[in-house]
Amino acid sequence: MNRAIVRAVQRLTGLPGKPQGVNILEKQRLWYSTKPPTLRKRVTNGIVIGGSIIFFGGASVYMLQQQNRSIRDAGERKRLLREQQEKSDSSAATPAATPAATPAAKPAAKPVASKPKKKKSNVKSGIGGPFELISQDGATVTEKELLGKWTMVYFGFTHCPDICPEEMEKMSAAVNVISGQKDMPDIPIYFITCDPARDTPEVMKRYNEEISSRIIGLTGPEDKVLDACKQYRVYFSNGPKDRDGDYIVDHSVITYLMDPQGKCQAFYSRDSTVESVARDIRQKITSWVPQS
């Protein structure tokens, strides 16, 4: 075998001894079965040394040095163990330092009394506030009209083809259920219009009387209606007019339950049912505690 190759192998593997020449054709199947396609290059010579197969293919050298790697790993472990032993021996020979005076123990801290947790309120903050509107009977109504009793507040318009009448009928039915139960109050429903241009007091009174006598319609100048909507965080927007001048008002579909102090205790959307609303109203009334 070429002496230059022998020296190169000894340099690469770090193992002494003369390599043994082999026929590359005999090892070609093993080589191809252990390497990915990108490394399956044509090689012409190969040698075996220390149980490792080393192939030479042109300028490329491919080595399978599992045994050599194990030998190096074992040597590294021995070196680390030796260094660890030397450190332990040196630390044992070093005289122990005089221990520092132990500081006086601090007195145990007095337990701090935990503050009582405040009862979680059902109040929906920021809903409701001052307003001044006109009732369906022509009287001026402010937010003070809602104090001292449980009330429900809904925003809509009388020209609504389906949603508003459905919500008014549902809430009226729920209130009827509550009013028929023992110790439950009679709850008025305030229907505030989002369409003051068409919903005059007369129009609202005629509309509400067809649904329930519990409903009280409120309207007024556009700026006053807008102020009331802001107090209850209600959105509304007039749609485009058709040939007859008719239009739809897009608005929030929410009914609020207000307690006797004018605070919002719950709100109900279109997904609610008569039974769920009645059940929730009763629960809110029976568990309500006035705020000081």
Binding residues for Cu cation: 160, 164, 251
**Close Cβ partners of 136 (under 8 Å, ≥ 6 residues apart):** 201, 202, 204, 205, 208, 216, 217, 218, 219
The C-alpha atoms of residue 45 and residue 199 are separated, in whole angstroms, by 101
Percentage helix, strand, coil for the chain under 3-state DSSP, each rounded to 5: 35, 20, 45
The C-alpha atoms of residue 284 and residue 152 are separated, in whole angstroms, by 13
Query: Biggest alpha carbon distance in the chain?
Result: 119
Cα distances (Å, whole numbers) of residue 117 to 120, 121, 125, 288, 290: 9, 12, 19, 18, 18
Contact status, residue 9 vs residue 50, Cβ threshold 8 Å: no
Q: Which of 147, 149, 114 is nearest to 128 (CA)?
A: 147
CA 180, 184, 188, 190 dihedral sign is negative
Specify the DSSP class assigned to residue 96. P
Q: Which of 197, 219, 196, 208 is nearest to 141 (CA)?
A: 219
Cβ atoms < 10 Å from Cβ of 198:
16
The C-alpha atoms of residue 21 and residue 197 are separated, in whole angstroms, by 105
Q: Could you tell me the two tokens for 279?
A: 């059940």
